[in-house]
Amino acid sequence: MAQVIEVTPQFRLAGDLGIRRLGFGAMRLPTKGFHGPPRDPDVGRAVLRRAVELGVDHIDTAAFYRSADGTVRANALIRDALHPYRPGLVIATKVGPVFGPDGPRQLPARDLRAAVEDNLRTLGLDRLDLVYLRIGKMEVPHGESIAERFEALAALREAGLIRHLGLSNVDLAQLDEASAIAPVVAVQNSFYIANRDDAALLDACAARGIAFAPFFPLGGSGADLDDARVAKVAARHAATPPQIALAWLLAISPVTLAIPGTGSLAHLEANIAAGSIALTDEDLAELAAAAPMVPSRR
Ligand SMILES: NC(=O)c1ccc[n+]([C@@H]2O[C@H](COP(=O)([O-])OP(=O)(O)OC[C@H]3O[C@@H](n4cnc5c(N)ncnc54)[C@H](OP(=O)(O)O)[C@@H]3O)[C@@H](O)[C@H]2O)c1
């Protein structure tokens, strides 16, 4: 008889802020891709309001989430739709990259204060609950020291501009380097049912009580989950492959947070409904065999 996997719906960031493990990623609100044509801001605001109505209390954003023409920006949508913010709503943001005509480049430590202040201003906040230092381009920049930049963010935390710090696109050595400077409460790397390269990093986070909130929880498109075993489990639960990908993420570890990105009300509803899918040990065994479905990212 298959056993249902018990999934705790909540996580305490740093043992402090209680949030639901199924949250929302804001990157897809301004544009469908990355820096593409603008999406309708009215729809973006409606998606945000509905997300909160459905119980979302963790929104992941960045000041650099915007349409290519700069007319639609995630932080402005969040502020317009949800400010004044409901108590308990955690808005996580990230600083590090800036995007120019030659692609992304990293801000030096001395410029991180301005990036944090930009997020405070555009979100309409006095203090940011969670700020990730995002490093590298798409690949994790192994061997790169993050000490100087993380020290700059730790100083802003000491100054009261930031409550908690996280890291994005890092490896274990960088997590260790940062943890020696200030507490790291969350890690955000690319990870999903078909890309488990960072399984050991997830385990390290779990052992330390650090949240692991992967980007691309749906593979970055929602359509990249074409696998017969995922389809079989989805059919068993009358669900879709993206819903199974989210249920899987929540079931594999107590520290995973799901932040699926969408600019679609229908997809939002489907993603939140995935939180009620009770996977079994049999499902997980089948899904364990389903990876990797796409080439490893490194
Ligand atoms: N730290 C980083 O470097 C980094 C990088 C990327 C993203 N992020 C964060 O992580 C969040 C999640 O990543 P992501 O948004 O890039 O990718 P994702 O959540 O893996 O996938 C989003 C894509 O899937 C589609 N989708 C969403 N729900 C769906 C559903 N139920 N059925 C079918 N398709 C669905 C979306 O299209 P529609 O919009 O049309 O629904 C969108 O194209 C982002 O929103 C952002 O907050 C962080």
Question: Is 195 a pocket residue for ligand 1 (Cβ < 6 Å)?
Answer: no
- Other Cβ atoms within 10 Å of 65 Cβ, number: 25
Ligand 1, pocket-test mutation among 22, 24, 28, 43, most atoms within 8 A of CB: 28
Q: Which residues partner with 90 through β-bridges? A: 58
Residue 151's SS3 state is helix
Distance of CA 226 to the CA centre of its chain: 22
CA 116, CA 250: separation in Å to the nearest integer? Answer: 30
Question: Is 60 a pocket residue for ligand 1 (Cβ < 6 Å)?
Answer: yes
DSSP tag of 186: E
- 132 part of the active site: no
Low-confidence ranges of the chain (pLDDT < 50): 293-298
CA 175, CA 126: separation in Å to the nearest integer? Answer: 27
Structure tokens at 164: 């908690």
CA 241, CA 181: separation in Å to the nearest integer? Answer: 40
Q: Which atom of ligand 1 is nearest the CA belonging to 263?
A: 39
Residue 79's SS3 state is helix
Please, what is the Cα angle at 249 between 244 and 252, to 5 degrees? 115
**Smallest Cα–Cα separation from 281: which of 2, 52, 13?**
2
Question: Is 168 a pocket residue for ligand 1 (Cβ < 6 Å)?
Answer: yes
Q: Is the whole model's pTM more than 0.85, yes or no?
A: yes
pLDDT the model gives residue 290 = 67
> How far does the centroid of ligand 1 lie from the alpha carbon of residue 219, in Å?
8
